Chains A and B, each alone.
Chain A
Amino acid sequence: MRDKYRRPDLSQSGAARLRTSAMIASIADAQDETRQAPFGEALVKLAAERPEVVGMTADLAKYTDLHVFAKAYPDRFYQMGMAEQLLMGAAAGLAREGFIPFATTYAVFASRRAYDFIAMAIAEENLNVKIACALPGLTTGYGPSHQATEDLAIFRGMPNLTIIDPCDALEIEQAVPAMADHAGPVYMRLLRGKVPVVLDRYDYRFEIGRAKRLVDGSDVLFISSGLMTMRVLKAAERLATDRISAAVLHVPTIKPLDEATIVAEAGKPGRLVVVAENHSIVGGLGEAVAGVLMRNGIAARFRQIALPDAFLDAGALPTLHDRYGLSVDAVMTTVKAWL
């Protein structure tokens, strides 16, 4: 239990303390290659070919990279105000009239505040609304009001909804046209701002509903989505120097889950299966994979790297990623302890 009357240790010098900084802290490491606003740029590119694409937001264009689209296509951009229920209802209305709205807000607001509107106005009628939400999982140090640690758990129960959790800039660029081509509602967890590029090294192509093995290995099988794929790829490289061989299966589509590929990979004997996700341990990729394995009679050694079932601390993002086990160092320590 937090004690708000206990003063922090002030003997440590100010410079040594990490700070929360911006609402959306970059998840890129200093040496990472990055691209700026991949979602916004991809949407602008798509809009040139697809006149039915429109952009909508609930007062968060700037923080979801939709401002890039708004600047390029001001007459196809709709500002709905800080009103997420309206955003989703109006998106449904535009979809009914044949448009493909990309609606953006933060993941907390879409999942917690606007759920019924997404369910009844959009998903029940299988309408063509694409929901792209920033701050998925633990990607801000602003505390539980902005940390969507349970968005996947909330949305996985919604029929008709496709859920994707892309890993890097490249995948977001490929996901945007794929979302538009898919008939029906899609929820995408969005990484915005300076987004790392990592998948270009793996001959990778995003397809909705397909998991892809990026690296093979014999001791550990990482199954991961979103930014945790970046982290486990780095962990796998470092584990190799310790003669630990780790495979990485990237699962960007949380729903529908690529059960066949997961079963094929996890069914290979002798590997520790570790599902790593930027989400609560409750109801996300880990439990989805566990269900697939149980239903298919695969009794692999199974572990989860995930956020705890708790409202998380505020603070600087690197500190929090270490604290909650999502950093590469934390992944290394955790996995070694399990082997």
Chain B
Amino acid sequence: MSRAISNASLAQRAYRIRRHALLMGEVQGQGYIAQALGIADVLAVSYFHAMTYRADDPEWEGRDRFLLSIGHYAIALYAALIEAAIIPEEEIPTYGADDSRLPMSGMAAYTPGMEITGGSLGQGLPIAIGVALGLRRKSLGSFVYTLFSDGELDEGATWEAAMSASTHRLANLIGIVDVNNMQADGPSTGIMAFEPLGPKFEAFGWFVQRVDGNDLDALTTAFDRARHHDWPGPRIVICDTKMGRGVPFLEARERNHFLNVGPEEWSQALEVLDAARPL
């Protein structure tokens, strides 16, 4: 399959992930939809280009692990898991409801395909260290992908893990940082001076790539290199993403960490998204 065709299909996947997320957002009337729209391309490349897994056996030993550190991005990961046929599409209306398998914050015990309980930010990368050590002990060739946010760079444990990954030469660990430059109290760069981020991780001994997280070509190339590069240590793909991506009137909204979307706006958002759907 040529790259162009393959990425056309990834564009379809990313579109459908955004669509599932918007439908879930509409159920609740609010939520972390801007992040979900922003990270959809990264999830499309992760689940439909990079990772190995079995939809009918989410705990298959040989799978690549995907750890969602940012629990409130659950709406985005559910959308990807639905698209990957790990969760049935019919469960979309249960999002955030009593007895749902799709709670607002991601938890391992609730949802097939949700590897860890995230949400207490800064724990994903430390857990990934143990998973990567465990995979190596078992001589499994699987990768552990860990998605965390620029806000989680504020947490000291992230940097404890960043050093440890290098110490233990964890070449089976692929960190993904979503840099959307927005956390609860405002722009992330104004809250903690985490830039220049790439050189920081390089100095910590990681193989670093920084890409436009909404560019499918750039993402597939970066994920391929992350998997196949002969660097003997951990790898990180820093993804600069645009919150609200795919729905311009949501992209333009300024205070979008926890986005307020009006009742009539959900269908408008879906219309805008559908109108621009990839062929």
Contacts and interface: CB of A to CB of B under 8 A. Distances in A.
Q: Do A and B come from one complex?
A: yes
Interface of A: 54, 78-81, 83, 85-86, 88-99, 101, 116-117, 119-121, 124-125
A117 B155 CA distance: 12
Contacts of A78: 133, 168
Given A80-B164, A120-B119, A125 B108 contact: yes
Contact of B126 (A89, A96, A119): A89
Interface in B138-194: 138, 156-157, 160-161, 163-164, 167-168
Given A117-B126, A120-B123, A125-B117, A86 B134 contact: no
B127 interface: yes
B134 A98 contact: yes
B278 interface: no
Given A85-B160, A117-B157, A97 B130 contact: yes
A96 B108 CA distance: 11
Contacts of B137: 54, 94, 97, 99
B117 A124 contact: yes
Contacts of A81: 160, 163-164, 167
A310 to B, nearest CB: 29
B117 A94 contact: no
B85 to A, nearest CB: 23
A88 B137 CA distance: 18
B42 interface: no
A93 B127 contact: yes
B130 A93 contact: yes
A90 B157 contact: no
Contacts of A117: 120, 123, 126, 157
Contacts of A54: 137
A91 B128 CA distance: 10
23 contacts: A79-B167, A81-B167, A83-B160, A85-B122, A85-B156, A86-B157, A89-B123, A89-B130, A90-B127, A91-B130, A92-B126, A93-B127, A97-B135, A97-B138, A98-B138, A101-B130, A116-B120, A117-B126, A117-B157, A120-B119, A121-B116, A124-B107, A124-B117
A83 B164 contact: yes
Q: Which of B126, B128, B132, B161 has the most CB of A within 10 A?
A: B126
Contacts of A99: 134, 137
Contacts of B134: 93-94, 96-99
A79 B130 CA distance: 12
Q: Majority SS of interface residues in chain A?
A: helix
Nearest to A51: B137
B130 to A, nearest CB: 2
Interface of B: 107-109, 115-117, 119-120, 122-123, 125-135, 137-138, 156-157, 160-161, 163-164, 167-168
Nearest to B129: A90
Closest 8 CB pairs of A and B: A93-B130, A89-B126, A97-B134, A90-B130, A83-B160, A86-B160, A93-B131, A85-B157
Contacts of B130: 89-97, 101
Nearest to B117: A124
Contacts of B116: 92, 96, 121, 125
A121 B133 CA distance: 16
A165 to B, nearest CB: 27
B117 A93 contact: no
B111 to A, nearest CB: 13
Nearest to B137: A99
Contacts of B107: 124
Q: Which of A86, A94, A98 has the most CB of B within 10 A?
A: A86
A117 B133 CA distance: 18
Nearest to B133: A94
Contacts of A120: 117, 119-120, 123
Nearest to A97: B134
A156 to B, nearest CB: 20
B131 A121 contact: no
Contacts of A80: 129, 164
Contacts of B123: 85, 89, 116-117, 120-121
B127 A92 contact: yes
Nearest to A129: B130
A89 B117 contact: no
A105 to B, nearest CB: 13
Nearest to A91: B130
A101 B126 CA distance: 15
Contacts of B120: 116-117, 119-120
A104 to B, nearest CB: 15
A97 B119 contact: no
A91 B133 CA distance: 10
A88 B130 CA distance: 9
A81 B160 CA distance: 8
Contacts of B128: 93
Nearest to B126: A89
Contacts of A93: 126-134
Nearest to A85: B157
